[in-house]
Amino acid sequence: MSDPKKFWKFMLVLGFTAMRLPLILLFLGICIVAPAPLSSLWFSLALGAMILSAATDLLDGLLARRLHVESRIGAYADPLVDKFFYLTAFPTLVYLAARQEPALHAQVLLVLAILFLGRDQWVSFLRSTGALYDVDAKANWSGKARTLISFPVLCIIFYYLQAPRSWGFQFQPWLVYCLEALGMGINLISIWVYTRHYAPCLKKEIRLGYESLDIQRPTTTARPGNHPPPPAEPG
């Protein structure tokens, strides 16, 4: 690269994005290995790792724009790392809720997890379809709002599930359920917005796929005296 300073700025932003991976793995490791209930030290480390992981997602794009090192690989790496974050955080929270909370809360978190992860797969499919028609794959307002809401909500859910009593402050259950409902709502909105955006491409592909089918089987006209051979006897 002709400008070494710009290269290191570019690598700094990519490293900032990749930092979410070890942080969320640290969170997972503490939640699985540390004895329950988590001590104040283990809880602080896990919550700190989760908050830092969320902060890198909110700041890496801003940092790339401020340093003028926006790139296509960065635009694709960011949602990839986001998926890894959700894929790790949600099952961990479901596990913690099932271990300590009434079954209802674990079930709600399970539905929320499926909705989050399913939405990501659906959007990836839509973007792949849109790429066939050179449609811009950048995140729209619903995706950004989803990210802005989901990271704090996940941190609050973890705090609610695992915060030691010695910390004093506790979130009320009704507030946590409302935040989880908000997470479900923003995911449904995001699914609708992305589907509407890519609907023309999806319709074209469905139509082309249907038209490419050989829906009429070739037929053979029977002629007098031209009978098909009898089936072979079983050997």
DSSP letter for 165, please: G
- What confidence tier does 215 reach under pLDDT thresholds 50, 70, 90? low
pLDDT value of residue 219: 52
Q: Show the tokens assigned to 4.
A: 């070494």
pLDDT digits (tens, 9 = 90+) for 7-33: 888 888 888 888 989 999 999 999 999
pLDDT value of residue 158: 96
Sequence-separated (6 or more) residues with CB below 8 Å from residue 119: 146, 187, 190, 191
pLDDT value of residue 42: 95
pLDDT value of residue 57: 80
pLDDT value of residue 61: 79
Cα 63 to Cα 58, 142, 151, distances in angstroms: 9, 21, 18
- What confidence tier does 144 reach under pLDDT thresholds 50, 70, 90? confident
pLDDT digits (tens, 9 = 90+) for 146-187: 988 998 999 999 999 999 988 888 999 999 999 999 999 999
What's the N-to-C CA distance of the chain in angstroms? Answer: 72
Read off the pLDDT of each residue in 116-122 and give the average, rounded to a whole number. Answer: 93
pLDDT digits (tens, 9 = 90+) for 67-94: 888 888 887 788 888 889 999 999 999 9
State yes or no: pLDDT of 2 exceeds 60: yes
CA distance 6 to 12: 10
- What confidence tier does 229 reach under pLDDT thresholds 50, 70, 90? very low
**Which residue bears the tokens 């991976």?**
21
pTM > 0.95: no
pLDDT value of residue 91: 93
Domains and CATH numbers, the chain: 4-210 (1.20.120)
Whether a cis peptide bond, with omega within 30° of 0, leads into 91 is no
